[in-house]
Each structure stands twice: as C-alpha cells, then as structure tokens.
Amino acid sequence: MSGRCRVRVELILGRELEFPFNGGEMFKFKSGWASLVSMAVAAGMLPMAASASQVASDSFAYPTGSILGDNGGSGWSGAWTGSSNNVTAPGFTYSDGAHSEPVAGNRLNLSNANGGNFRGVSAPVTTGTLYLSYIGSVPDNSSYAGVSLFSGGGGGSENLFIGRTGQSGGTPQNWGIDAKNGPVSNSAISAGVQSLLVARVDFGTASDRIRLYVNPSLSAEPAAADVDVTNNAHFTWDTVRIQSGGANYNVDELRIGTTYADVAGVPEPATMGLLGLAGLGLLVRRRRA
C-alpha cells in the first residue's frame, strides 16, 4: 500500500458517523467506514434510508438514576417530568423468533406507586392512524401499569391506557386496553411476562377504533388483534404518561409513529448495508495493523 493510501485509510478510520437507526434515535459509531459510506451513497451503491414517519421515540439510553430531566430520544417537546422513578440497567430485548427488534440503552423502572412520568410530544397525530409500542413487564401485583395518552399535558385528561388494566373480564393481570370512552378489554397474555405491546388507533370523526397486538410479528402487522375495541368519542392527545399502581413496572423502547414499521419494524435494507460497510471498515483496520 502506498503512503498516500495509508494516509487515506487513517482519515477513514478516524471519522465518527452518526445516523438514524430504523427511523429512531441517532446512533454514533467510531470505525473505519464513515467516508466509505459517503462514497457508496454518492456512487449509488447504497440506497439512502426511506424517510420515516415516526412521531417520537425513547430507548431510555440514559445513565442509571432518576429519569427527571432526561431529554433524549426524538420527537419530544421537553424532558421527562413527574415522580423520581429510575432508569435501570439492562434494557429489554424482543424477538419474534425470526427477527429481533433494534434496541439500545437501559429501561425505566417505576418504583413509586401512582407516581408516574410525563413527556409532551412535539407533533402529536390525531387524525388518520397512530401506532404506539413499548416493551414492558409487571412482575408484581400492581393494580394497573401502563402507558397513557393525555390531552392538556400532565394535568389534563387521560384518553387512552395501554398496559395492565387491573380491571374487567376476570383477567386483571393481563395486558389490555382501557379506552376511557369505551370498554376495558384484556388479552389472554399475562402482564407478568415481558412483552412487546403494539397499539393501533384509527381516528374517526365521532369514534376511534383501537387495537392491541401482544408479542406480534416484526415483519408485518398481524391480521387479527389480541384486543379490538371502539372508543365512543374521538380523542386528542399531546402528552405521554407512564405510571403504575405498584412499585415494579418496567418500560423500554417507547415508540410512536404512523406506520407499523415505525414502531415494530426490522432494520431497513439501507441500515443493513451500513452495518456491512462497518464490517468492511474493521477489515481495513485489521489489514492495516
């Protein structure tokens, strides 16, 4: 290898690349492939990732300790407020058997009964279709534990609850939906088991249809939902709340979007191509050594 090539490799290896992963948060990689990626994209060898329609996301990639004031992720109007619940390690993972959901960071553990955390969304979607997902578990006997959509901020009204409802149907320990202006309906899957929950809201003019998938396929939206209810009044929202009636509720990988792939998708082909170039950069480093 000539001296000029050695200088070029050194420049490549010294770069730091930051890019959105599956339409979510920004991930940084220090490796030998930042310039390789740029050249591949410019040459048409690697397609750019499709523009995402994700509304907000948080992988709780914060240091362990109180969540208050943490302001990571994307799509939010401010930091987490409310009770002093703690970010805890490690984070959760989910696989449908064929694919694994991209995850990062730690998880949020709610240690204060009836003391939740709130966070506003910059551009809430209240027409068309909305998806919300998270990985959760409720290992204790909390009366309820879940993620809610509020209007009017943390002091406003709760319009949708997704999690362990703690009531109705003889299965209070299972994952379900409380539509607030509709029925409380539970799935057949225990909330004591770590699960991926994906909720779909189809907004209407006078009512909304709400579906819940528990531990679904990541490759495509299931044809049938585990819970399917009608909310008897159209609702709006601008804030997310995470709260439980007990002291051991865990939440991770909170995502909100307008398509199923926004909240439960597998890595896009362009992202996989970037990961392949990462491997190429490491090979260049090894050969240089």
For 65-88, write each residue's pLDDT tens digit: 999 999 999 999 999 999 999 999
Measured in Å, how far apart are the chain's first and last C-alpha atoms? Answer: 12
What is the C-alpha separation between 218 and 89, in angstroms, rounded? 24
Average pLDDT for 46-59: 67
The least confident of 76-85, 196-205, 264-273 is 264-273
User: Does the structure show a pLDDT above 60 at 124?
Assistant: yes
**Is residue 79 exposed (0-12), middle (13-18) or buried (19+ Cβ within 10 Å)?**
middle
Map residue 56 onto helix, strand or coil.
Answer: strand
User: Does the structure show a pLDDT above 50 at 185?
Assistant: yes
Give me the residue spans of the domains in the chain: 3-48+269-288, 54-264
CA of residue 153 relative to chain centroid, distance: 20
User: Does the structure show a pLDDT above 60 at 210?
Assistant: yes
User: Does the structure show a pLDDT above 60 at 58?
Assistant: yes
What is the C-alpha separation between 286 and 289, in angstroms, rounded? 5
The least confident of 13-27, 176-190, 244-258 is 13-27
Average pLDDT for 273-288: 43
What is the C-alpha separation between 28 and 60, in angstroms, rounded? 16
Contact call for residues 170 and 135 (beta carbons, < 8 A): no
Average pLDDT for 180-191: 93
CATH no. for 54-264 = 2.60.120.200
Query: pTM here?
Result: 0.77
Amino acid 3: pLDDT: 39
Amino acid 53: pLDDT: 82
pLDDT band at 167 (very low <50, low <70, confident <90, very high): low
Strands, E assignment, 144-259? 145-151, 157-164, 174-178, 184-190, 195-203, 208-214, 227-231, 239-244, 249-257
User: Does the structure show a pLDDT above 80 at 51?
Assistant: no
Contact call for residues 92 and 252 (beta carbons, < 8 A): yes
Calculated CA dihedral for residues 157, 159, 164, 165, nearest 10 degrees? 80
User: Does the structure show a pLDDT above 90 at 274?
Assistant: no
Contact call for residues 117 and 230 (beta carbons, < 8 A): no
What is the C-alpha separation between 131 and 199, in angstroms, rounded? 6
Question: For all residues of the chain together, what is the average pLDDT?
Answer: 80
Amino acid 268: pLDDT: 55
The least confident of 39-48, 75-84, 217-226, 242-251 is 39-48
Average pLDDT for 267-286: 45
User: Does the structure show a pLDDT above 60 at 243?
Assistant: yes
Average pLDDT for 44-55: 52
Q: Is the dihedral of CA 117, 122, 127, 129 positive or negative?
A: negative
pLDDT exceeding 90 applies to what percent of the chain?
63
| DSSP 8-class letter at 95 | B
What is the C-alpha separation between 193 and 283, in angstroms, rounded? 41
Average pLDDT for 153-162: 93
